[in-house]
Structures are given as C-alpha cells and as structure tokens.
Amino acid sequence: MDPVVVVSNRGPLSFRLDDDGNPLAVGAAGGLAGTLQPLLEGSGSTWISCSMSEADRTAAARGLMRGEGLRLLNVFPSPDVYRMAYDVISNATLWFCFHHLFDLSRRPRFDSRWREAWEGYRELNRQFARLVVEAAPEGSSVLVQDYHLLLTGRLIARERPDLRTVHFLHTPFCSPEILRVLPPDVAGELLSGMAGFGACGFHARRWESCFRQCWEDPELAAAAGSPPPPTFVAPIGPVPEAIQSEAASPACAQARRSLRQLVGDRRLIVRVDRVELSKNILRGCWAVEELLELHPDWRGRVVLLALAYPSREGLAEYLAYRSEVEHAVERINERWGQGDWQPIVLDVADDRARSLAALCEYDVLLVNPLRDGLNLVAKEGPLINATDGVLALSREAGAWPELREDAVGLNPFDVHGTAEALDAALRMEPPERRRRADALRQRVLSRRAADWLEDQLLAAGR
C-alpha cells in the first residue's frame, strides 16, 4: 500500500489525567476512530488528529501518543479556537445544516460572535492543513474525514500538489435550499473548500446528489467560484470480526441475561443512539404510545428499550432535547404502565456491553432518524442479533437503499406510520423473520469497513 495519511478531528488515542496528574490512555470509544483503527494498525500510516484536552497535550509532550504500527500526530489548537471550531461551527452550525435541524424562524443567528467562531473554524482547518503539508510522505493518499475539516483540501493542494486528497463526509449533505441559509461567503468557502479535494465521498447516492445540486443553484455556484469536484458513493460497514467478538464476551453474555430478566416474556423493541436531535427519539416514544392506542393487544406485552447515551451536552439544544425525551417517557409510562410493566425503559448510561446485548436480543430494532449519513447501528444489529429480529428502518437513513429490501420501512416524521411499521414488525411470522434476518446479515457481511477504506484509496488514485 502507498503511504496513507488519515486526517480526522478525533484520533484513535485520547488520554485522561489520573489522580497524580499523569496521563492515562483511553481507547477509541466506538465511532469513526474505532472503526478505522483496526484497519490501519500495522500499516505504517500516519494519522493526524486533534489534541483536545490538557491530558492529550501532556501525553503528547511525554511521547505517549503512539499507535501500533501507526504514526500519530496532533494539532494543538488553543481551547478557544477549538471551542469555536468544534462547538459553534462544526456541531451547532454544520451538523444542524446538513441534518436539516434548524428551527429556521429562530436559529441560526449569524451575528458578530458567530463570525468570530467562523474565523476559529478557518484557523483550525489551517492548522490541520499545515501539519499535513509538513508531515505527509511524498505522493501520499490523504484521507480527510468529516465536516470538521471541509476547508483543508484547498489549503493542502496549494502547497503540496504531489498529495492525492480525498474528503469523506459521514453526515448527510443538505438540500441546496438549506445550504443557502449560510451567509453566502461562508457557503461559497465551504463548497470551494470541498472542491479543493481530489474527490469527495458520501455514504449514499442521495447525499452526493444534494451536494452536486448545489452547483445548479446559480447563487451558490457563483459563491463557490469553482466547478464541483469528482464525487463517489461508498457506504461504510462494520468490522464484523471486531463486533462479533465483542458480542461473544462474558460482559455481553451477562448483560443479555439481565436484559432477558427485565423483559420476561414480553416482546422487545430496541433502539441504540446518542441523545441527538437527528435520531428522533421523541417520535419513537410517541409511536410506541400510538401503537398501544391503536392496537390494545400490545398493552402489557411489549417494551421499548431506549438506550440513549448523552452527547454534546455543552450545547443547550441537546440538554433541552434530553429533557423533552425524559418527560415524554415519564408521561407515557404514567399513562400506560400497569403493575410491573412500563412500556418504555430509557437508559442514558453509556454501557457498551448492554448496548451490544440489546442488539443481540431485540425482536424489533427501531432505527428512525430524521436524516442520517448512514447509521451503523442498522448494520451492526442484524449482524449480531440472535433472535431473527426485524429491522424497522427510516427511509431517511443513508443505509436505507442498501437494506430496504429486507427491512420494514418508515417515514420518521409519520408517528402513525411508525406505529403501524412496529405493529407489522412485531406480528411478522417466524419464517419471514428468519428469511429477512438472514438476508440482512448477508448484505451487511458483503460490504465491510475495509471495502469503504479501499474505495477512498481508489478515489484518491484517480
């Protein structure tokens, strides 16, 4: 393999300080870094990421940022620059924009303070680009990951035309009608930044097509000031061996036993998400309520286990959403619960063994995001589920076109329709469940994380 440089906000290693102030390593906590790490270990690749805490800085200073057969390098933005780039621009602006989450009559509010934050995003992108320019081996393929780093391609190309850069976006891309929400110079700089890569990749044809449509909007195209880059579609998949071995661990077996005790002989609907506005946890709860209302025979006989671990609690929107979810669950349980039965069990602990146990045990896996780059849970579930469980999947998830034939589809905004999809999934006959579960497993196994990585390298080589 030619030299490869991976560039991402979060790296495979982060640190926390112990009681004596010494840095202790914490492994990649799932997510993209967790998927990439096993693919890159031992390859001699370079991985450039952001040092995000005092502990990371101390660890780097002491030479502890070392991977197995991997060269790990870090940028060290000031906490202020990082907060502006990561919280205000990446998470509160670009994430909201690409997922269509703005409540447009009120948010966003692009004022002078936001303009400062935008300068922070540009600065962080320059710091990343500078390190790539300095450290990338001659002729490397440079794989830049996700929406935190959209401006780096053009900056890198200017200094190092020998490098072959690719950007891969893990979120959806938005409609041009929503990209127009951004100030025109900002929308233009993002588009022209992406056009500075050798190629841009997406998880689904639909996001690629939204991206390309931006060049058909005359004002956006004028703001971009350059033609669109080559694009490609390369959905990610799991690393099957990694998740299967985790699912076979004693901790997971123990969690499965507790779970079966909790559920008893009731039917089990599972969801596993971050507490995230795009995941649509609220309407999932409303749909269970509608199910109980429309189909009284499910009362007392079905449980939604909602594993929802907190996320981005520095943003007010996320705290508010979490509290709305908690109130909805409380209200629904109060209205419908009887004896020891509560229709919804909400667990906000970040417990990996319990999440995997729930994926092994579900009768129905509810994946109902409003809009989602791919949704890896929709692939991991069928891979390790042991009960021929049914996948109820949003048509707005990037994974939909790959899995649609064997999933039960749903419109995530349609609470009534979601309730009917859950009912259909719960009532599905065993032979049909088995056929679909087998087919889903085969589909998932046929497209792994390694294939996705390979597609990026191919795109870089063009």
**Footprint of its own copies (CB under 8 A):** 100-101, 103-106, 108-112, 114-115, 174-178, 180-184, 210, 213, 219, 277-278, 280, 282-283, 286, 290, 293-294, 321, 324, 370, 395-396, 411, 413-417
Is residue 300 packed enough to be buried (19+ CB in 10 Å), middle (13-18) or exposed (0-12)?
A: middle
Q: Toward its own copies, which CB reaches closer, 178 or 459?
A: 178
Q: How far is the CB of 370 from its own copies (least distance, A)?
A: 5
Residue 24: left if φ>0, alpha if ψ -120 to 50, beta else—which one? beta
Return phi, psi of residue 284, to 5°: -60, -45
> Which residue, 127 or 418, has its beta carbon nearer to its own copies?
418
Nearest CB to its own copies, comparing residues 11 and 176:
176
Torsion angles phi and psi, residue 103, rounded to 5: -90, 85
User: What gap in Å lies between CA 457 and CA 441, rounded to an integer?
Assistant: 26
* Cα 372 from Cα 441, distance rounded (Å): 21
34 or 108: whose CB is closer to its own copies? 108
Q: Residue 90's closest CA among 275, 309, 314, 369?
A: 314
Least separation, in Å, of the C-beta of 359 and its own copies? 24
* Sheet of 364-367, strand order: 344-347, 302-309, 267-274, 364-367, 390-394, 408-410
23 contact partners, CB below 8 Å, separation of at least 6:
15, 16, 17, 55, 56, 58, 59, 62, 64
Nearest to its own copies of 124, 287 (CB atom)? 287
Nearer to its own copies, 228 or 409 (CB): 409
Q: How far is the CB of 115 from its own copies (least distance, A)?
A: 6
Q: Which residue number, 131 or 174, has a Cβ lying nearer to its own copies?
A: 174
Asked if 362 contacts 382 with a C-beta cutoff of 8 angstroms, the reply is no
Terminal Cα distance for the chain, rounded? 15
Give whichever of 209 and 245 is closer to its own copies, judged by the CB atom.
209
CB of 323 to its own copies, least distance (A): 13
Three-state SS annotation for 285-318: HHHHHHHHHHCHHHCCCEEEEEEEECCCCCCHHH
Contact between residue 280 and residue 331 where contact means Cβ atoms under 8 Å apart: no
The DSSP element (H or E) to which 416 belongs, if any, is helix 415-427
Cβ 384 to its own copies shortest distance, Å: 29
Q: Measured from the CB of residue 440, what is the shortest distance to its own copies in angstroms?
A: 21
State the minimum distance, in angstroms, from the CB of residue 80 to its own copies.
Answer: 20
Q: How far is the CB of 91 from its own copies (least distance, A)?
A: 14
